[in-house]
Amino acid sequence: MMSSPASPPLVTTVAELRDALGPVRREGKRIGLVPTMGALHDGHLSLVLASQSECDFTVVTIFVNPSQFGPGEDLARYPRPLARDLELLAGSADLAFAPGESEVYPPGFATWVEVGSVAQPLEGAFRLGHFRGVATVVLKLFNMVGPDVAYFGQKDYQQSLVIRRMVADLNLPIRVRVCPIVREPDGLAMSSRNAYLSPDERRRAAVLSQGLGVAAGAVAQGERDAARVAAKVRETILAAGPISIDYIAVADPETLEPVASIRGPALVALAVRIGSTRLIDNAILEPP
């Protein structure tokens, strides 16, 4: 009888993590890091599989980082199904690191990473201090693990730009890989926050990717005016019923500066609230 693969070993302190990784590094193995906040889904697992196929040893970190949540956001209700997460990592990750809050932010902690212009618009404008928390914890995780390659999802497009900027500006010897968005069969981008949606909200949430599809369709048919593209996305989303839109932006995919006319690849990014759940999604528009 074939036995099913075991969950990866779990460590919870930086000292244990370094003990576990010492021999791996001495053997010259290439270490891949997948930073997560847990509540794993197929989007996370696609990153773990990318690391497994490109690296010799894959570390998955699971830490719900309080410093990237603003007041009134969902820190308290963010799901934390650690045992299930470890089961999902069986056969793909080599080590799981799930530190407690005081391991990452010990008393007296007072050093923060502020990334410049790419962290300002879009999510940065709606979630003040969010990217300061993300950049700080990701730099700490990089320093704790010492990966050769780190994997992030394109769903958090702006986050991946912020991290790439930080890696370049701080000369970190780490390759950042951004992997495609994984979607549910109806197009909804996978997210741990989808679990908050009621059945009716979940049905309505499919309109986000439909809106992005409308944008791509308009550009494919020759529309070049970014404001008209954004208006079509807005119209599509609002037709699905009560959804409140934080932003729908058409922006330069590298700088995130607003684009008026779509002449080359452009990012269309959006954030909405459906009931009490905030969702984001994006796509790159490529004029033919």
Q: Does 52 bind ligand PAF (CB under 6 A)?
A: no
Residue 126 contacts by C-beta under 8 Å, 6 or more apart in sequence? Answer: 246, 247, 271
Interacting positions 228-257 with ligand PAF (CB under 6 A): none
CA 19, chain centre distance (Å): 28
Q: Does 123 bind ligand PAF (CB under 6 A)?
A: no
Instruction: Please choose, from the candidates 207, 209, 256, 259, the residue with its C-alpha nearest in 3D space to the C-alpha of residue 229.
Output: 259
Q: Does 39 bind ligand PAF (CB under 6 A)?
A: no
CB of 89 to ligand PAF, least distance (A): 15
Catalytic residue among 44, 130, 132, 140: 44
Q: Does 67 bind ligand PAF (CB under 6 A)?
A: no
Count the site residues for ligand PAF by CB under 6 A. 10
Q: Are 167 and 174 in contact (CB under 8 A)?
A: yes
According to CB under 6 A, which one of 8, 33, 36, 147 is a site residue for ligand PAF? 36
Nearer to ligand PAF, 155 or 204 (CB): 155
Q: How far apart are CA 126 and CA 124, in angstroms?
A: 6
Q: CB 1: neighbour CB atoms within 10 A?
A: 2
Q: Does 137 bind ligand PAF (CB under 6 A)?
A: yes
Q: How far apart are CA 164 and CA 178, in angstroms?
A: 10
Q: Does 35 bind ligand PAF (CB under 6 A)?
A: yes
Nearer to ligand PAF, 59 or 214 (CB): 59
Q: Catalytic: 130? A: no
Farthest-apart Cα atoms in the chain, separation: 62
* Piece of the chain touching ligand PAF by CB under 6 A; list 4-12, 35-43, 69-77, 242-250: 35-43
Q: CB 203: neighbour CB atoms within 10 A?
A: 14
Interacting positions 68-97 with ligand PAF (CB under 6 A): 68
Q: Does 37 bind ligand PAF (CB under 6 A)?
A: yes
Helices (H), the chain: 14-26, 42-54, 82-88, 101-104, 123-126, 130-145, 157-169, 199-205, 207-220, 226-238
Nearer to ligand PAF, 138 or 189 (CB): 138
* Piece of the chain touching ligand PAF by CB under 6 A; list 48-56, 106-114, 133-141, 183-191: 133-141
Q: Are 4 and 88 in contact (CB under 8 A)?
A: no
**Cα three-residue angle 254-43-114, rounded to 5 degrees:** 40
Q: Does 191 bind ligand PAF (CB under 6 A)?
A: no
Q: How far apart are CA 216 and CA 288, in angstroms?
A: 10
Q: Does 134 bind ligand PAF (CB under 6 A)?
A: yes
Q: Does 51 bind ligand PAF (CB under 6 A)?
A: no
According to CB under 6 A, which one of 135, 138, 212, 250 is a site residue for ligand PAF? 138
Q: Does 282 bind ligand PAF (CB under 6 A)?
A: no
Nearer to ligand PAF, 59 or 233 (CB): 59
Q: What is the DSSP string of 52-98?
A: HHH-SEEEEEE---GGGSPTTSSTTTS---HHHHHHHTTTT-SEEE-
Interacting positions 139-168 with ligand PAF (CB under 6 A): 156, 159
Point out which residues bind ligand PAF (CB under 6 A). 35-37, 65, 68, 134, 137-138, 156, 159
Active-site annotation, residues: 44
